[in-house]
Chains A and B, each alone.
Chain A
């Protein structure tokens, strides 16, 4: 089947070449980071996790969101998603690989990473994170690949895959729950020390993931004969709407707890993010942009005429992706470190090499998506499914 990825149009080759070159630039920056150390990033003693871990967190959500098409199709037999499932699973594969790479570029002693497996430590959430991420990658490779092989051969997927598919559903929830627990279990980081951390993570994942999937499907639709189908798109738009509202609602819960209780420790990070603290306000414009995007998208998505307007929908999805990305991929992780445990403020902004390494990993993710989606489309074409 892989041969399908090797032949394509000029545009396909151009895209592959473009993404591969971005990845190579990132790789060069990473080699520089390996030589000099993580000091080339904007991270500091006070803000000890930055852009990398934030991207990781966001992408775990993207990976988990594959379940939003898998679940209705396999558990509720929602036939409209039949042709979407494989796209969801393949997006999850790319996202998990990106997650693993973002962890690898973030740790200080990269070649010692296997210590996590050599000295298994069940009291560390990171130990479980390793297990659930690798497991989820395997599950999606198994489920996605067998589904594609079945399509290639013109048969139904083999029976033995069923248990793996069912397992992948709770597993998807678990990966983002465990990722939330990385944060929610730290004492005295009040932005994270909240019981709604995991639900909030899931809510933001289940709006941003399907939104990104819809954007990708629109792109696929523009360049190929594939059409996800109006019904499927509208159903997915409903999922995005509900999850986005849940995400905003949970954020509102955070605001209530922090400001109605009046406890200063609970408020400081939030004040820093949205108003600035003691003259430090680098993230303020970002956070307002994020919430403006999400609120506008939520209001528009709630209106049926707007949500069902298939020309407008991809732009609303873009708002959702941008909003959730800033919220989770910048604000949440960095805001948790400000102020620091001694109540001092050190701000953070990623440096150019740091951004380029991240862009490189994103490019690799898109490259994986491109190649996998190309295979799916070619198989569908050869089977005259589209």
Chain B
């Protein structure tokens, strides 16, 4: 091989660099993510392990069924029925986005944009007090050319 003296150290440096996160964290305890579960309920629409693993697919499925296919009710694996609602469904039990959704999402660094449109329980409390510097303006006149 040409330039073995440069190529081999190069490969070694590359491998070390790529695996750096593993070396960095070796021997350290894995931080535990604790999400706050609703106190008054013991079960979700499906069992816990399914929800942890598949909640994003379930939610995606729900929104398609509601918005695109016109269904409103979900029948779970035990035959129980639930209204497929997010803001007015899921978040009624999981009454905090910050202490439930965000704790895990922040840890795994994902940023789902549900909350760009759906109003989180926190915002429900905060919106009214939020100062809006938006121009107030009265009834819009009928359009005229």
On whether A and B touch (CB less than 8 Å), the answer reads: yes
> Which residues in A have some Cβ–Cβ distance to B below 8 Å?
278, 339, 342-345
Q: Tell me, yes or no, whether B57 is within 8 Å of chain A by CB.
A: no
B contact residues around A278 at 8 Å (CB): 145
- Give the Cβ gap from A120 to chain B, nearest Cβ, in Å: 16
A contact residues around B144 at 8 Å (CB): 344
Contact flags (1/0) for B54-84 with A, using CB distance below 8 Å? 0000000000000000000000000000000
Q: Tell me, yes or no, whether B42 is within 8 Å of chain A by CB.
A: no
Considering only residues 117-145 of chain B, those with a C-beta below 8 Å from chain A are 143-145
- Give the Cβ gap from B59 to chain A, nearest Cβ, in Å: 17
Instruction: Assign chain B's interface to a size class.
Output: under 10
Give the CA-CA distance A278 to B145 in the complex, in Å. 9
Closest to B144 in A: A344
Ranked 9 nearest A-B pairs via Cβ: A344-B145, A344-B143, A343-B145, A345-B145, A342-B143, A278-B145, A339-B145, A344-B144, A342-B145
Q: Give 6 A-B pairs besides A343-B145, A345-B145 with Cβ atoms closer than 8 angstroms.
A: A278-B145, A339-B145, A342-B143, A342-B145, A344-B143, A344-B144
Closest to B143 in A: A344
- Give the Cβ gap from A47 to chain B, nearest Cβ, in Å: 15
B contact residues around A343 at 8 Å (CB): 145
A contact residues around B145 at 8 Å (CB): 278, 339, 342-345
Give the CA-CA distance A342 to B144 in the complex, in Å. 9
Count of A-B residue pairs with CB < 8 Å: 9
Give the CA-CA distance A344 to B144 in the complex, in Å. 7
B contact residues around A339 at 8 Å (CB): 145
- Give the Cβ gap from B112 to chain A, nearest Cβ, in Å: 13
- Give the Cβ gap from B92 to chain A, nearest Cβ, in Å: 28
- Give the Cβ gap from A346 to chain B, nearest Cβ, in Å: 10
Give the CA-CA distance A339 to B144 in the complex, in Å. 12
Give the CA-CA distance A173 to B132 in the complex, in Å. 53
A contact residues around B143 at 8 Å (CB): 342, 344
B contact residues around A345 at 8 Å (CB): 145
Closest to B145 in A: A344
- Give the Cβ gap from A345 to chain B, nearest Cβ, in Å: 6
Give the CA-CA distance A343 to B145 in the complex, in Å. 7
- Give the Cβ gap from B63 to chain A, nearest Cβ, in Å: 14
Give the CA-CA distance A345 to B145 in the complex, in Å. 6
Closest to A277 in B: B145
- Give the Cβ gap from A275 to chain B, nearest Cβ, in Å: 17
- Give the Cβ gap from A348 to chain B, nearest Cβ, in Å: 16
- Give the Cβ gap from B118 to chain A, nearest Cβ, in Å: 16
- Give the Cβ gap from A26 to chain B, nearest Cβ, in Å: 26
Closest to A339 in B: B145
Closest to A344 in B: B145
Give the CA-CA distance A344 to B143 in the complex, in Å. 8
A-B contact pairs, 9 of them (CB 8 A): A278-B145, A339-B145, A342-B143, A342-B145, A343-B145, A344-B143, A344-B144, A344-B145, A345-B145
- Give the Cβ gap from B129 to chain A, nearest Cβ, in Å: 25
B contact residues around A342 at 8 Å (CB): 143, 145
- Give the Cβ gap from B121 to chain A, nearest Cβ, in Å: 26
- Give the Cβ gap from B62 to chain A, nearest Cβ, in Å: 18
- Give the Cβ gap from B57 to chain A, nearest Cβ, in Å: 15
Give the CA-CA distance A345 to B143 in the complex, in Å. 11
Contact flags (1/0) for B31-58 with A, using CB distance below 8 Å? 0000000000000000000000000000
Give the CA-CA distance A344 to B145 in the complex, in Å. 5
Closest to A280 in B: B145
- Give the Cβ gap from A159 to chain B, nearest Cβ, in Å: 35
Give the CA-CA distance A368 to B145 in the complex, in Å. 46
Closest to A278 in B: B145
Considering only residues 65-123 of chain B, those with a C-beta below 8 Å from chain A are none
Give the CA-CA distance A139 to B8 in the complex, in Å. 39
- Give the Cβ gap from B107 to chain A, nearest Cβ, in Å: 22
B contact residues around A344 at 8 Å (CB): 143-145
Give the CA-CA distance A345 to B144 in the complex, in Å. 9
Give the CA-CA distance A273 to B81 in the complex, in Å. 60
- Give the Cβ gap from B140 to chain A, nearest Cβ, in Å: 12
Give the CA-CA distance A278 to B144 in the complex, in Å. 12
- Give the Cβ gap from A338 to chain B, nearest Cβ, in Å: 11
Give the CA-CA distance A381 to B143 in the complex, in Å. 65
Give the CA-CA distance A35 to B117 in the complex, in Å. 16
- Give the Cβ gap from B69 to chain A, nearest Cβ, in Å: 15
- Give the Cβ gap from A285 to chain B, nearest Cβ, in Å: 23
Give the CA-CA distance A278 to B143 in the complex, in Å. 15
Give the CA-CA distance A342 to B145 in the complex, in Å. 9
Closest to A343 in B: B145
- Give the Cβ gap from B95 to chain A, nearest Cβ, in Å: 30
